[in-house]
Structure 1
Amino acid sequence: MFGIRCVTPHQTIEIERMLYVVYIVPTFADRGSVQVWLQYVQFAVNHIKTADDVESVRVLFERAVSAAGQHVSKGSLIWTAYRQFECSLLQHLETGGVDCSQQRDICVGLFFRQLSLPLLDTQDTYNLFLEWSSSRLSNIPSLAMDNIKLAVQHTLKELLQILPFEDALTSSLDTSVKVDIFKSYILREKQHGKEAQRVSILYERALVMNPLDQLLWLEYVHFADRHLAPPDTVLGVCSRSTRNCPWFTELWRQKLFLMEKYHQSSHEDMQGVLEQALAVEYTSASDYLLLWLAYADYMRRRIEQDSDQQDQQVTAFTELLAQACEHLAQRFGLKGDPQCILLQYWARIEAAYKGDMEKVRLLWNDIMTQGHSQFTEMWLEYILLER
């Protein structure tokens, strides 16, 4: 049996902090869950000790509303927690008889930001604002009141457009039907040019319903690449897609491409992803071939970009293709790469960067002996290299 040490209250708090960093943070990073964000910010609020802690909590709330604040049916929970936090600070200042104009502006600003978003309880939130502001009208500029009123009018009109989707999601019990509703919902938001984060939340909600929808993940990856920032966010979507649908080769190919594109990963990281992808049991040789080709393209670009170490990069490339050919041959024989795409690729690199025509001829002899000597296009490819 393990021994149990006594810990001080301070140590207990630190242990709780560690648990949140290790377990809770990765969870909401994966799903953007409103409930988990709420747990996280409430935990932070409960451990405020200093003025610096207050600022840290504000930063955390901003992250929370950015990640989940546009969730139409649940986002208001985050905003409400944020407002209550700031309004409690305002109340403390008001009872202390000190200048609280700046804090009051913060609270009004939060109401305005929330009421500018199409969330299900917009009207209730506006009623709450009117009640809250009634005792502070002399200190709130009339322009701010007018702006909030206009924001609410616009928001309620927008809400009418998306309520049919939300109602359909609420009334449906079939997961596949809900996913189809989400797809229509997402299409509508895209066609109307809605904010990327708002569309992203819909993807997240849909994928919670059906995390094994490989085509929806691929669509989300493409959307994230075009519209979301920073790169860590995009790569996070990629990682989650391969974790949920590891059998879908195209997701691994996209992950490799985007890791290279955003310059966020080392060569060792790229190798690690290839190894993870190759460890999956795919149903066809073409899946493995596509993975090797995706990685070979990355290695070729390294040759083009690193002129100072071009010889080493070319050697690494040819070693990779030798490994790929051996891997496919061992698993599938000649069916691993029936068109000899890897051998042709290898020959082109040998000719272009090494000028080793003897090696090129050996490679093409291998290609022709695999049943391709009867095809004109193969001979033409070979002749072009000889020239």
Structure 2
Amino acid sequence: MRDLYERAITAGGLHVTEGSKLWEAYREYEMAILTINDGNDEEKAKQVQRVRALFHRQLSVPLADIESTLAAYKSWEAEEGNTRDPDSQVDDVPPNVLSAYKKASEMYNARKQYEDELSVVAESEANKLQVFLKYIKFEKSFGDPARVQVLYERAVSELPVSSDLWMGYTSYLDRTLKVPAILKSVYHRATRNCTWVSDLWVHYLLSLERIRASEDELRHVFELAIQCSFPSMNEYLNIYLTRVDSLRRRMPTGLDFELIRQTFVDAAEFLSPQLGIEELLLLHAYWAKLECNIGKDIAAARGVWENALKKSGSVLEVWQHYISMEIERGHTHEARSLYKRCYSKKFAGSGSEAVCHAWIRFEREHGTLDDYDLAIKRSPLV
């Protein structure tokens, strides 16, 4: 029972307006044990000290009815024969307890305005959110993570689908507490209540990676994320890229590169029909780079770009990225072949002209005189 009460105090004992109910229930339990204690002076003395310690602990916490708690403490000490003046608010109270009580009273008075505001805006969720955000900012200024966490818990229990609260709460835990069990619990509830907020899922995956969660856990959360309904395809892309980032960073731990390759395959199949060209290039460029750098498979990297050309061969930027990859790796023959394949294609705007200029510049920097002459000959600009 004591363990259960301690857990309850940890979870809600700092709740400014409701926390005293937990403390009082705990004291009543210990007082009941004291009442039925018969005959064993040593055990009775221990039990008296338990009750006294609970009073002292509660009197150090800023709660709404802290004055009545002090009065109850004085009355109890009088019943135990340990005070001369039960009506006094200060006599016979240990100096350390009195000091903690005064500090707690000051802390409560500083928070009372926020509690009053919350009681007034009970019918307006938008206004309540603003009050909670101000209250949380105020609490953060004192640097007590336990108090901030309890306040966030109060806020999300009353406004469970507020993405602003969940984003703020999870970010605060990532920066401050970093306790794996707490992080997992809060992120699980955040994504359950706000499934459509892709940033929450991204942060969830990153947080799991930071606390070194297992690959099974990471894969499970990723799979849940891509089954959600997000407002745009770019948000799905961000989820996929976050997954790839994580796999890439963990390759030295023994993960199979095939996990990265399959993730890219799934992403391309799911996203390509609806992605813009900029996002499509981001996906394929990253994929091809990892095929080269980690997979050590240049043929697979070329395959990535060849597949992109099948779908978007009329887009100049796809060719440019493909050629840049070959040039960066010193594959001048392959780069030249790509220029020969694309120089006669009709690209939008001044795309065809840009290809010709790029080919001539390439041959000037890398080719023989014959190669340069060929580029000049085939260029419609000369």
Q: Secondary structure at the match of 1:183?
A: helix
* Equivalent in the alignment of 2:290: 349
Change (3 A) 1:96 1:382: farther
What is the CA–CA distance in structure 1 between the aligned matches of 2:240 and 2:298, rounded to whole Å?
24
* Equivalent in the alignment of 1:335: 276
Say if 2:268 is the partner of 1:320: no
Larger radius of gyration: 2
Counterpart code for 2:204: K
* Equivalent in the alignment of 2:245: 297
Once the two structures are superposed, residues 146-168 of structure 1 have per-residue CA deviations (whole angstroms, 9 ceiling, x without a partner) of: 22222111111111111110111
* Equivalent in the alignment of 2:229: 281
TM-fit CA distance, 1:335: 3.4
8 Å CA contact 2:285, 2:321 repeated in 1: no
* Equivalent in 358, 366, 374 of residue 299 of structure 2: 358
* Equivalent in 204, 217, 236 of residue 269 of structure 1: 217
Change (3 A) 1:105 1:339: same
* Equivalent in the alignment of 1:206: 155
Q: More relative contact order in 1 or in 2 (CA 8 Å, sep 6+)?
A: 1
8 Å CA contact 1:64, 1:78 repeated in 2: yes
TM-fit CA distance, 1:263: 2.6
Once the two structures are superposed, residues 108-147 of structure 1 have per-residue CA deviations (whole angstroms, 9 ceiling, x without a partner) of: 111111110100010010000000011324499x997222
What is the CA–CA distance in structure 2 between the aligned matches of 1:316 and 1:275, rounded to whole Å?
13
Q: Secondary structure at the match of 1:340?
A: helix
Once the two structures are superposed, residues 277-329 of structure 1 have per-residue CA deviations (whole angstroms, 9 ceiling, x without a partner) of: 111122211011011111111111221332xx6xxx11221122111111113
Change (3 A) 1:74 1:283: same
Say if 2:68 is the partner of 1:120: no
Percentage identity across paired residues of the two chains: 29
Stretches of structure 1 that go unaligned for 5 or more consecutive residues are: 1-56
More moved, 61-70 vs 250-259: 250-259
8 Å CA contact 1:286, 1:337 repeated in 2: no
Change (3 A) 1:336 1:249: farther
Once the two structures are superposed, residues 184-226 of structure 1 have per-residue CA deviations (whole angstroms, 9 ceiling, x without a partner) of: 0100111122x21211111111112221111220110011122
* Equivalent in the alignment of 1:79: 23
8 Å CA contact 1:117, 1:155 repeated in 2: yes
What is the CA–CA distance in structure 1 between the aligned matches of 2:6 and 2:314, rounded to whole Å?
61
What is the CA–CA distance in structure 2 between the aligned matches of 1:374 and 1:317, rounded to whole Å?
22
TM-fit CA distance, 1:269: 2.5
Counterpart code for 1:237: V
Aligned Cα root-mean-square deviation (Å): 2.5
1:179-258 aligned at under 5 Å gives the runs 179-193=129-143, 195-228=144-177, 230-258=179-207
What is the CA–CA distance in structure 1 between the aligned matches of 2:326 and 2:168, rounded to whole Å?
39
Counterpart code for 1:383: I
8 Å CA contact 1:247, 1:282 repeated in 2: yes
Which runs of 4 or more aligned residues in structure 1 lie more than 6 Å from their structure 2 counterparts after TM superposition? 374-378
What is the CA–CA distance in structure 2 between the aligned matches of 1:126 and 1:137, rounded to whole Å?
16
TM-fit CA distance, 1:381: 5.2
Structure 1 or 2: larger helix share?
A: 1
* Equivalent in the alignment of 1:10: none
Once the two structures are superposed, residues 312-352 of structure 1 have per-residue CA deviations (whole angstroms, 9 ceiling, x without a partner) of: x11221122111111113xx345387342221121111111
What is the CA–CA distance in structure 1 between the aligned matches of 2:8 and 2:330, rounded to whole Å?
61
8 Å CA contact 1:292, 1:324 repeated in 2: yes
What is the CA–CA distance in structure 1 between the aligned matches of 2:93 and 2:206, rounded to whole Å?
47
Say if 2:34 is the partner of 1:90: yes
Change (3 A) 1:317 1:137: same
Q: Secondary structure at the match of 1:127?
A: helix
Q: Secondary structure at the match of 2:161?
A: coil
8 Å CA contact 1:256, 1:294 repeated in 2: yes
8 Å CA contact 2:205, 2:221 repeated in 1: yes
* Equivalent in the alignment of 1:67: 11
What is the CA–CA distance in structure 1 between the aligned matches of 2:171 and 2:260, rounded to whole Å?
28
Say if 2:96 is the partner of 1:147: yes
* Equivalent in the alignment of 1:17: none
What is the CA–CA distance in structure 2 between the aligned matches of 1:269 and 1:150, rounded to whole Å?
48
Q: How many residues align?
A: 320
Stretches of structure 2 that go unaligned for 5 or more consecutive residues are: 85-90, 332-382
Change (3 A) 1:382 1:134: farther
Once the two structures are superposed, residues 88-125 of structure 1 have per-residue CA deviations (whole angstroms, 9 ceiling, x without a partner) of: 112222x4353222111111111111110100010010
Counterpart code for 1:354: G
Q: Secondary structure at the match of 2:276?
A: helix
Change (3 A) 1:214 1:293: same
TM-fit CA distance, 1:66: 0.3
Change (3 A) 1:385 1:164: farther
Counterpart code for 1:284: S
Change (3 A) 1:204 1:386: farther
